[in-house]
Homo-oligomer: A and B are copies of this chain.
Amino acid sequence: MPHYKLTYFNLYGRGETARILFHLAGVPYDDVRIEMEEWAGKKSDTRWGFLPELEVDGKKVAQSKAINLYLAKQFGFGGKDEWETARIVEFLLAFDDIGPMLYNVYVEQDPSKKAELTELTIDRGLKPLYNRFEKSLEENGNGY
């Protein structure tokens, strides 16, 4: 079995999906967690200036979605063929569209603006997205 080393911050964020994949597969790995005060000194060692990064027998791949897709495929969670993989990637990316809207709500400090943005995000973002998810699940006809 290859030697896996995952480097991320001591957070869930963009690293937790990979950790969950290791856990689900029962595959041991080095779970390296960089504390925020160490980050300034380590950033330039990363390939793109970001974490997470995954090393597989010393070879590095970066970008959380590239890492997650790779691990999912290695561990049998990436679909039984390329079509299933494409549909999985599609669903992951469909969730991304809501990210910036949620982020704007999260960082807004003014309480009344925050309430307004929350409502807008639910009505224009979350509700249509969840309706589409539901419809897509029904079309699949297998419950997931």
| A94 close to B132 (CB less than 8 A) | no
Proximity string of chain A (70-97) to chain B, C-beta cutoff 8 Å, 1 when within and 0 when not: 1001100000001101110110011001
Pick the residue among B65, B74, B86, B97 that contacts A67 (CB under 8 A).
B86
| A94 close to B62 (CB less than 8 A) | yes
Interface residue range, chain A: 20 to 34
Q: Which residues of B contact A50 (CB under 8 A)?
A: 97
Verify if A47 is at the interface (C-beta below 8 Å from B): yes
Query: Which A residues have a C-beta under 8 Å from some C-beta of B?
Result: 47-50, 56, 59, 61-63, 65-67, 69-70, 73-74, 82-83, 85-87, 89-90, 93-94, 97, 128-129, 132, 135-136
A-B contact pairs, 5 of them (CB 8 A): A56-B83, A61-B90, A63-B93, A69-B86, A70-B85
